[in-house]
Structure 1
Amino acid sequence: MIRGFISLSVSIVLLLVLVSPAGAAKRVTAASEKDPVVFVHGFTGSSSSYDDMKQWLVSQGWPSNYLFAIQYSNTTGSNINNAYELESFIKNVLRQTKASKVDIVAHSMGGLSTRYYVKYLDGAQNVDDVITLGSPHHGTNSSYFGLWTEGAREMVPGSAFLNDLNSVDETPNGNDSTSVIQYTSIFSSADTVINPYTSSIIDGADNVEISGVSHSGLLTDSSVRPLILNGLKDGGENSN
């Protein structure tokens, strides 16, 4: 009977630890060790493009309530307007999660609005890591097929928008010198949408070239995911 009483007492103590405020605080701390991730779609894209990637990041330890995908109101519109939408979206993410910074994963044209947000809006103080997937940082000849849209016109090589975005510093960092923004640009030599595919190379980033993956495949191919994971970890988890 004494052994039974001791066993019951130990069980009660363990239960109290698990449900106590201190135990709850430990679980919250574990979840918040990672930055929230904001996913940014590209030209004619959709927030649903990231559904599989979000599930994969959950399997890698990200809380599901730390993963957010923006849906731009005009998927072929100006990157400048999109950047302002991204600014508002990220403010809400930070308010909701109580985090100090976010990481961004952006596909295709989404990388341009992301960089504009960092360079000209409040992204410099709100972003930890930036990962772009097949982004036309220096334009793409494919954009000539969509010149009736503002987004495509901005992606024409040598456009005023791109010249301004790439002036002075292609990968601007935040105003905290102890916590710079880490940039990773992942691109594929098999990407026929970004022409030339080397347009994705930007000064100051970790530029990672792969092969055999299409433009849309950058969102789903299993060979890309470890590279994204490395990009998200480059700046350290909640190191700010």
Structure 2
Amino acid sequence: MTPLPMKAQTGSSVWSTHPARLWRRRFAVIIVLFLAVCSIVMAGPVGTASAAPPGKVVDTSHRHTPVILVHGFQPRQVPSLSPALAFSNPLGFKIPGAWTPELVTKWNETYGGGNTWNALIKFFKEKGYNDQELIVFNYDTSQPNFDTAQKLFNVIVNVYDSFGAQKVDLVTHSMGALPARLALASLAYSKTPRVENFVSLAGPNHGTDTAKLCPYPSCRDMERNSNFLRLLAALNKNLGITDGTETPGPVHYYTFHSAEAVDSSGRSVGSCDKVVRDGVQLRGAINFELPCSPGGSSWRGLNWPFVGDHLNIVNSPGVFQEIYNLLNPN
């Protein structure tokens, strides 16, 4: 696939090492025109990650492009949500039981943080990847995705510089797509592109109604038409993308979403993914639709009837094989 032409304009990233006032000046027009209700508060200028320090041996032994794995939202503080979940929700499904501390512990043991990627890592190692080529990016999923994007940007640059990699690949699940997309928009300003492929598994790329069940800043970013999603659209516009696509930079974009389930009469009963029901696809990306999983509410021996295939997508050998093929076309 021919990569999109890079439309670099100015600066090395959205987060420059200049004082914050210069950043605000650079994007004042964007904020006024596209984010009238968005207030972006920066704690201070954030520099880009530095290259390998003098004297450090750069590892060039890798055989594959390093893959950075970005997990989605983790309910580490979910017990505090139990009272709110007793009320009806706008999504049309009932959440069984309460989020007890025991349930959250069990969730995190099997799915939380980097554990999201255990099955994929095992699959990729069997294909010849080594530990240094599979980097799990862990982060506080309650914080704003803007802050997470800054940290991910630095990780991308560090991996690129320290490992002597030609490029890196990004594979994301669920909310992890949002900070990754902002980091990619920032990298599109760079003279040296660093990411070859971006994969979004069940990402809320256009928002999801389930975000309303969560009180954290990161969840506000996942709501439809959120300030964060408007920021992404504004940055694409500023990069000179006028054809309606959402894929900045010379990067290959891929998304995976679940198909709709049908009842015995053939009538659609909604997506098999009960968390991100639609809006995964990106204009300008290659978008894959996955068939519903048999017994789609079960994952690693646990029963999560209210998430459906949202978890199965990160435990499917078929999905892993497709991702492997996309990242290793030759």
TM-score by length of 2: 0.56
Q: Structure 2 residue aligned with 1:56, among 123, 141, 163?
A: 123
Aligned length: 197
Find the aligned partners of 1:85 and 1:110 in 2 and give their Cα distance.
12
Tell me: higher relative CO, structure 1 or 2? Use CA pairs within 8 A at least 6 residues apart.
2
Does residue 129 in structure 1 map to residue 204 in structure 2?
A: no
Does residue 216 in structure 1 map to residue 318 in structure 2?
A: no
CA shift, 1:165, in A, is: 1.2
Does residue 140 in structure 1 map to residue 140 in structure 2?
A: no
Contact 1:38 1:69 in 2 (8 A): yes
Equivalent in the alignment of 1:192: 274
Counterpart of 1:128, as a letter, is E
Identity among equivalent positions (%) equals: 29
Equivalent in the alignment of 1:14: none
* Structure 1 residues not aligned, in runs of 5+: 1-27, 174-179
Contact 2:188 2:248 in 1 (8 A): no
Counterpart of 1:82, as a letter, is T
Question: What SS does the aligned partner of 2:205 have?
Answer: coil
Deviates more, 1:80-89 or 1:127-136: 80-89
Equivalent in the alignment of 1:108: 174
Counterpart of 1:120, as a letter, is S
Does residue 40 in structure 1 map to residue 107 in structure 2?
A: no
CA shift, 1:100, in A, is: 2.5
Question: What SS does the aligned partner of 1:215 have?
Answer: helix
Q: How does 1:3-14 map to 2 (within 5 A)?
A: none
Question: What SS does the aligned partner of 1:224 have?
Answer: helix
CA shift, 1:232, in A, is: 1.2
Counterpart of 2:120, as a letter, is M
Contact 1:104 1:130 in 2 (8 A): yes
Equivalent in the alignment of 2:36: none
Contact 1:131 1:231 in 2 (8 A): no
Equivalent in the alignment of 1:202: 282
Equivalent in the alignment of 2:103: none
Does residue 182 in structure 1 map to residue 259 in structure 2?
A: no
CA shift, 1:187, in A, is: 1.1
Equivalent in the alignment of 1:78: 144
Equivalent in the alignment of 1:152: 219
Contact 2:63 2:129 in 1 (8 A): no
Q: Choose between structure 1 and 2: higher helix proportion.
A: 1
CA shift, 1:161, in A, is: 1.2
Counterpart of 2:248, as a letter, is P
Question: What SS does the aligned partner of 1:208 have?
Answer: strand
Q: How does 1:10-21 map to 2 (within 5 A)?
A: none
Contact 2:257 2:289 in 1 (8 A): yes
CA shift, 1:33, in A, is: 4.1
Contact 2:123 2:317 in 1 (8 A): no
Equivalent in the alignment of 1:171: 247
Find the aligned partners of 1:136 and 1:123 in 2 and give their Cα distance.
24
CA RMSD of aligned residues (A): 2.0
Change (3 A) 1:100 1:119: same
Counterpart of 2:65, as a letter, is D
Question: What SS does the aligned partner of 1:109 have?
Answer: helix
Deviations 1:86-115 (A, max 9, x none): 122223322332113100100001011100
Question: What SS does the aligned partner of 1:132 have?
Answer: strand
Find the aligned partners of 2:286 and 2:325 in 1 and give their Cα distance.
10
> For the pair shown, which has the larger CA radius of gyration, 1 or 2?
1
Find the aligned partners of 1:202 and 1:70 in 2 and give their Cα distance.
23
Find the aligned partners of 1:122 and 1:55 in 2 and give their Cα distance.
32
Find the aligned partners of 2:188 and 2:138 in 1 and give their Cα distance.
19
Find the aligned partners of 1:116 and 1:91 in 2 and give their Cα distance.
14
CA shift, 1:47, in A, is: 1.6
CA shift, 1:130, in A, is: 0.4
Deviations 1:170-195 (A, max 9, x none): 1101xxxxxx2101101112111003
Question: What SS does the aligned partner of 2:318 have?
Answer: coil
